[in-house]
Amino acid sequence: MSKTLTRQIDGPAAAPHPPERAAAHIITFGCQMNEADSEKMAGILQSEGYRLAPVPEEADVILINTCSIRAKAEQKVFSLAGRLKRLKKRRPGLLLVMAGCLAQRWGEALLEKDAGLDVVIGTGRMAQLPSLLRAVRETGRPAVDVQEEWAGNHSASPLREGRLKAWINITFGCDNYCAYCVVPFVRGREWSRGPDGIVGEAKALAREGYREITLLGQNVNSYGAGLEPRTCFPDLLRALDADSGIARIRFTTSHPKDFSVGLIETIRDLPSVCEAVHLPLQAGGDEVLRLMNRRYTYDDYRRTYEKIRETVPGVAVTTDIIVGFPGETAREYDRTLRALEDLRFDGIFSFRYSPREGTKAWNMDDDVPEAEKARRLMEVQELQREITVEKNRELIGRRVEVLVEGVSRKDASRLTGRTRSNKIVHFAGPDALVGELHGVRISEAGFVSLRGDPVRPGSGRESGGGR
Ligand code: SAH
Ligand code: SF4
Ligand code: F3S
């Protein structure tokens, strides 16, 4: 799935660079990290005098923010780049920028692909975007910057897509080196942003009317490593809860090996921290987990999981699953199915293993045939579908708190929002409730969303829940 940043902006008066009333169009692939980066690059372009173009056909600069996580993610980027190259023929002067993880991974080699690229910019180099564009306009030659060293100000003012919910980066990079994963290679070494900058950003967002923030990192639980004075993720949550003025705090992603009891109690105790945990399991068999370099066994995971369920009332836990990893025999795969039945997640994201050059698993024998990977994926998804529906039905009759995000796309008389546990809810109500926290009693539950009726406004935790 790709996403287009569409929020319109009014650019300041014309500057010599870019050309007068120049417009940029940004297309985003990949994870929340990339969505946050696209908002930062939109902010950088805006401060350079660009406005955002709603469609590529109106743009002077098209930026593709790319993902490399699986081969399919890269193929999507290349097919889009091919289409945009044709557009370039019709729009002389149009500049094509490739940013993000694929740009970081392939660097200069991308220019040899004859994809019509003018700029290739790495994940840590966003601050260099204006000077790279300027260099291309001045020299007529492509410009590449994929240095690993972080460039300039990492907290450039983003041009945010939403007005209620915002991303805040807290850690960058990843040091975990899961055997299948390119992220450590395309996002560099892990480092944490200082807490003052994070709390300051959250406070400013609250003043602008934002109600919810999501703290982003590949492994938010290791937040604080290397910072002076010493701090940790629960400390950061406490500071944000006490000082930011933000109603709802979410975070993603968590690594099971670093998810402490202290953190679980912090989630329980802080009113603004939402009861939603994304805790990637990846596989249910210990041999596959070991080969994946996940550094926990299924039992370790299960203990953490049970502790979360027991301690935090109403919590929703979601996970990621990979099927067909090298060495995933029928028996090992069966342990993944058993794990899903045993743990009963609220939802999962599941993927077929995709070998990535440069990772440890690249040198392992990709021994599960594609057709079998596809079969396993389907089976996992069908099993989970039933569990998700059952979990959602447990909410029928319960009162939940919903942050009203807008009018339902399917039915204009209905509002749409999310519970604290991050489930989508539709209910009847006036537009005036958009931006508010409102009580809803759940009356129906399906796979992707819930329906309910408004009850008296108020905040507080969702009643009941658990398994
Ligand atoms: N840092 C996060 C997100 C990583 S990418 C985390 O640790 O969870 C999101 C998910 O993509 C991973 O959890 C994993 O399930 C999946 N993934 C990563 N590399 C993959 C690969 N090579 N093939 C298939 N799925 C992969
Ligand atoms: Fe990839 Fe593992 Fe790091 Fe997540 S924790 S980004 S899966 S290496
Ligand atoms: Fe993709 Fe990069 Fe995110 S590889 S999943 S966009 S960190």
What structural domains and CATH numbers belong to the chain?
A: 5-145 (3.40.50.280), 160-274 (3.30.750.210), 399-455 (2.40.50.140)
Per residue in 388-434, pLDDT (tens digit) is 999 999 999 999 999 999 998 888 889 999 999 999 999 999 999 99
What was the pLDDT predicted at 115?
A: 86
User: Cis ω on the peptide bond leading into residue 92 (within 30° of 0)?
Assistant: no
- The token pair that represents 376 in the structure block: 């396993």
- The token pair that represents 386 in the structure block: 């039933």
Read off the pLDDT band of 2 (50, 70, 90): low
The best mutation among 68, 69, 381 to test binding of ligand 1, ranked by most ligand atoms within 8 Å of the C-beta, falls on: 69
Per residue in 106-145, pLDDT (tens digit) is 999 999 888 899 999 999 999 999 999 999 999 999 999 9
- What is the β-pairing status of strands 414-419 and 399-407? antiparallel
- Our CA angle for 153, 158, 162, nearest 5°, is 155
- What is the β-pairing status of strands 424-428 and 414-419? antiparallel
Contacts of 13 (CB under 8 A, 6+ apart): 49
Pocket of ligand 3 contains residue 31 by CB under 6 Å: yes
Residue 336 CA to ligand 1 centre (angstroms): 16
- The token pair that represents 341 in the structure block: 């039945």
- The token pair that represents 296 in the structure block: 């926990």
Pocket of ligand 3 contains residue 132 by CB under 6 Å: no
Report whether pLDDT(195) > 90.
yes
For the CA of 102, the nearest atom of ligand 3? 4
Read off the pLDDT band of 462 (50, 70, 90): low
Residue 349 CA to ligand 2 centre (angstroms): 15
For the CA of 187, the nearest atom of ligand 2? 6
Closest ligand to 368 CA?
1
H or E, element range at 102:
helix 100-106
Nearest to 158 by CA among 98, 121, 211, 208: 208
Q: How many CB atoms lie within 10 A of CB 444?
A: 13
What was the pLDDT predicted at 220?
A: 96
User: Cis ω on the peptide bond leading into residue 253 (within 30° of 0)?
Assistant: yes
- Give SS3 for 99: strand
- Report, as an integer, the average pLDDT of 220-240: 96
What was the pLDDT predicted at 408?
A: 85
Pocket of ligand 3 contains residue 294 by CB under 6 Å: no
CA distances in angstroms from 69 to 28, 270, 306, 356, 369, listed in the order given? 14, 34, 30, 8, 20
- CA dist., res. 73 & res. 12, Å (int): 35
For the CA of 175, the nearest atom of ligand 2? 3
What was the pLDDT predicted at 204?
A: 97
- Residue with CA closest to ligand 2 atom 4: 218
- Give SS3 for 230: coil
Pocket of ligand 2 contains residue 220 by CB under 6 Å: no
What was the pLDDT predicted at 460?
A: 46
Report whether pLDDT(10) > 50.
no
What was the pLDDT predicted at 364?
A: 98
- Residue with CA closest to ligand 1 atom 9: 320
Residue 291 CA to ligand 2 centre (angstroms): 14
User: Cis ω on the peptide bond leading into residue 18 (within 30° of 0)?
Assistant: yes
Contacts of 288 (CB under 8 A, 6+ apart): 282, 325, 327, 328, 332, 335, 336
- What is the β-pairing status of strands 61-66 and 23-29? parallel
Q: Which residue has the tokens 């929002």?
A: 417
Q: 370 and 345 in contact (C-beta within 8 Å)?
A: no
Nearest to 123 by CA among 183, 178, 69: 183
DSSP string spanning 116-167? --SEEE-TT-GGGHHHHHHHHHHHSS-EEE--SSPPS-TT-----S-SSEEE
Nearest to 379 by CA among 328, 316, 425, 431: 328
Which pTM was predicted? 0.94
- CA dist., res. 19 & res. 414, Å (int): 44
What was the pLDDT predicted at 298?
A: 98
Single-letter residue type at 336: T
Read off the pLDDT band of 452 (50, 70, 90): very high
- CA dist., res. 423 & res. 432, Å (int): 21
Pocket of ligand 2 contains residue 419 by CB under 6 Å: no
Residue 235 CA to ligand 2 centre (angstroms): 23
